[in-house]
Amino acid sequence: MRSYSSVTTATWEFPMLPPSPANRYHVDHAERLRRTFHTLTGRDLVDPALAPDAAADVLFHAAFVVLSHNTAPDPLLTYGNQAALNLFALTWENLIQMPSRLTAEAPNQAGRARLLAEVTARGYIDDYSGVRISRTGQRFLIERATVWNLTDAAGQRCGQAAMFREWRYLDNISSG
């Protein structure tokens, strides 16, 4: 029987089980997402009046996409809300084992790497657009995404996250 306890990557530990009421929808990570997003952008991912457990539930079930990855040399995804899991056609187990670079097609990975380097230097960017790809090969354009640095309680960078509300599916015909 496979054991899903937790995995330590880069600078934080994240649970292997999918977010659920039993694990409080990964409330600690949801709070990290909320705190860093608000600190850097001045905006809120979800209603700031919500208690942490309720906010983690709302974030996981939100209609917008939220993803994060760690700071490994080839960063692994560490969180995706239900909208992200659906859009990228992933299970939780697929997601937490997937290098985040694979959310972009190979020709788009250099541009993605430049974007992430800019976020590292500036803290966050708004209004990012780019083509992404699901596990099933469905291409889609994300628009007006916010990408930001995640920090731990000591203020050390421990990953990056993205949030977007707008995407549109693209034809899967090669433009070759």
Query: Which one has a higher pLDDT value, 110 or 7?
Result: 110
**How many helices and strands, by DSSP H and E, does the chain display?**
5, 8
Supply the DSSP symbol for 19.
P
The predicted structure's pLDDT at residue 172: 63
The CA angle 12-111-167, to the nearest 5 degrees, is 80
Alpha helices in the chain (DSSP H): 27-41, 52-60, 82-87, 92-95, 109-122
* Per-residue pLDDT tens digits for 53-107: 999 999 999 999 999 999 999 999 999 999 999 999 999 999 999 999 999 888 8
Q: What is the CATH number that goes with domain 6-169?
A: 3.30.450.20
In one-letter notation, the amino acid at residue 81 is N
Predicted confidence (pLDDT) at residue 6 exceeds the cutoff of 50 = no
When pLDDT is cut at 50, 70 and 90, the band that residue 175 belongs to is: very low
Residue 14 has pLDDT above 80, yes or no: no
Q: Residue 127's pLDDT is what?
A: 87
Residue 4: which pLDDT band, with cuts at 50, 70 and 90? very low
What pLDDT score does 13 carry?
Answer: 57
Per-domain residue ranges of the chain: 6-169
At position 93, the amino acid (one-letter code) is E
DSSP annotation of 102? G
Out of 4-18, 33-47, 70-84, pick the least confident. 4-18
Query: Would you state the pLDDT for residue 9?
Result: 45
How far apart, in Å, are the Cα atoms of 55 and each of 99, 108, 130, 155? 27, 33, 28, 22
pLDDT at residue 7 above 90?
no
For 119-167, the pLDDT digits (tens) are: 989 999 998 999 999 999 999 999 999 999 999 989 999 999 999 999 9
For 24, 41, 150, the CA distances from 127, given in Å and listed in that order, are: 31, 12, 18
In the chain, % of residues over pLDDT 90 = 77
pTM above 0.85, yes or no: yes
Burial environment of residue 131 by CB neighbours within 10 A (0 to 12, 13 to 18, 19 or more): middle
